[in-house]
Amino acid sequence: MGVGFCPGRQSDRTGYVATGRCSDWSTALRRAFDRGEEIRLTALVAYEWLRGPRTMAEQEAADALFPPASTLVFGPEEAALSAKFYRSVSRPRGREIDLAIAASAILRSLTQNSSC
């Protein structure tokens, strides 16, 4: 499963790895890990995390949970859907990354569901 979109502010999306504090999405993420599901990040989510600042311990924890080599690419299909979202929402400025992350997650979900 590719996880690319987590609701809430950017600090909420990355806060669990940094602090260990639980929220609704981090509880669901922990359950997915417990079930043995493969969890991967999109390149855009990795970017949000990497822009930091992060301590070495936080980065090591993130790398253990989400190995950099398993990062999902943001390619032309994701870019096209992101642009469509951008044009379809009111006041999209400042929401570009969130729209792109949503597009990545939606396309990944559609791809996985079509192969079932």
Residue 2 has pLDDT above 60, yes or no: no
CATH classification for the domain delimited by 2-114, as one of 3.20.20, 3.40.50, 1.10.10, 3.30.70: 3.40.50
Return d(Cα 8, Cα 30) in angstroms, integer: 17
CA atoms within 13 A on the CB side of 27: 3
For 91, the token pair is 């006041």
Residue 38 has pLDDT above 90, yes or no: no
Contact (Cβ atoms closer than 8 angstroms) between residue 81 and residue 75? no
- pLDDT at site 109: 82
What does the chain come to in residues? 116
The pTM score is 0.65
End-to-end Cα, the chain, rounded Å: 13
Phi-psi region of 71 (alpha: psi -120 to 50; beta: other; left: phi over 0): beta
Rounded mean pLDDT of the chain?
78
Q: Which helix (H) or strand (E) holds 3?
A: strand 2-3
Give the residue extent of every domain in the chain: 2-114
